[in-house]
Amino acid sequence: MKKYVFSTLISAIALGLSFTAQAESARQPHTVIELFTSQGCSSCPPADRIMGDLVKTPGILGLSFAVTYWDYIGWKDTFGNIENDTRQVRYRDQFSARYVYTPQMVIGGQDHFVGSNPHELEDNLQKYQGHAKKLELKWKFDGDKIHITLPEHSSSAVIWQVDLNAAKDVKIGRGENTGKHITYHNIVRKTQAIGEWDGKPRTFTLALADLMQNGRDGCAILVQEKGFGPIIAALEIDF
C-alpha cells in the first residue's frame, strides 16, 4: 500500500517528528473488491496477480481474504483465517449460491465472479463503479486516532474494521503450488464488526496505535448494509 513507508520513517526521524504524524493517509475509494484466495489453490495465482494491479488502481480498494478450507491438500495457508471462511459463506448465503470457491471476487457486496477472469472483472467494475461513495465520508486525524463522520442515510448498516498488511511474498513449500513464489496484496489479517449504524449522522473514533504495534500497514473501514449486503461507503487508511 505504501512503497514509501521506509523513507517516510527516515524523514520523520530526521525532522524529530512522530511516525504517526508523518504516516497519516486516508482515502475513500469508489469501488471495493474482495478476493477469496488460498495458497493451496492452483487456480488462485492469476487472481492474486490481478489483485496486485487492482491495489495500484486509483479509486479501487482491493482486499485479499485467505481461506483455510484448502489446507488439507498439504499446505497450510500462512494468512488463512477461519473468519475469512465465515465471511465467504455469508456471501454465499446472501447471493443464494450453491457453494464457495476460489478464486472468488466479490464486488461491492453485490455480486461475485471468478477472480482470475479479467473480462468479468472489467464488466463488473463498469457495472458497480461508485457504489462505495454512495455516502461521502469525512475524517480527521488526531494523533494516533482518526475520527470518521457518517452522514445521514436511509437505511442501517454494519461498520467493519479490516486490518491489513500491504504486501508479502510467500514461497509455497507443498501442495498444488509447490515451489512457486507468490506475492499477496492487501492481506486481511483480521475483520471485526465495530458497530451497528442506524443511519443517523454519527462520528466514531478509531485508535491506530495498537494496529501499528502489531505490525499492520493499515486498515479499511467498510459500511455495509445488512452486514453482508451492499457496501455503501469505505475508507482506506495507511500508516
- Residue ranges of domains in the chain, CATH in brackets: 5-238 (3.40.30.10)
Per-residue pLDDT tens over the stretch 19-39: 443 447 999 999 999 999 999
Query: Which three three-digit cell numbers place residue 113?
Result: 465472479
Q: What is the pLDDT of residue 237?
A: 97
Reference 212, options 237, 192, 187; nearest CA is 237
Q: What is the pLDDT of residue 77?
A: 98
Helix (H) or strand (E) holding 14, with range, is helix 5-15
Q: What is the pLDDT of residue 20?
A: 42
Positions in the chain short of pLDDT 70: 1-23
Q: What is the pLDDT of residue 198?
A: 97
pTM, to two decimals:
0.90
Helix (H) or strand (E) holding 169, with range, is strand 157-171
| Contact present, 172 and 148 (Cβ < 8 Å) | no
Q: What is the pLDDT of residue 182?
A: 98
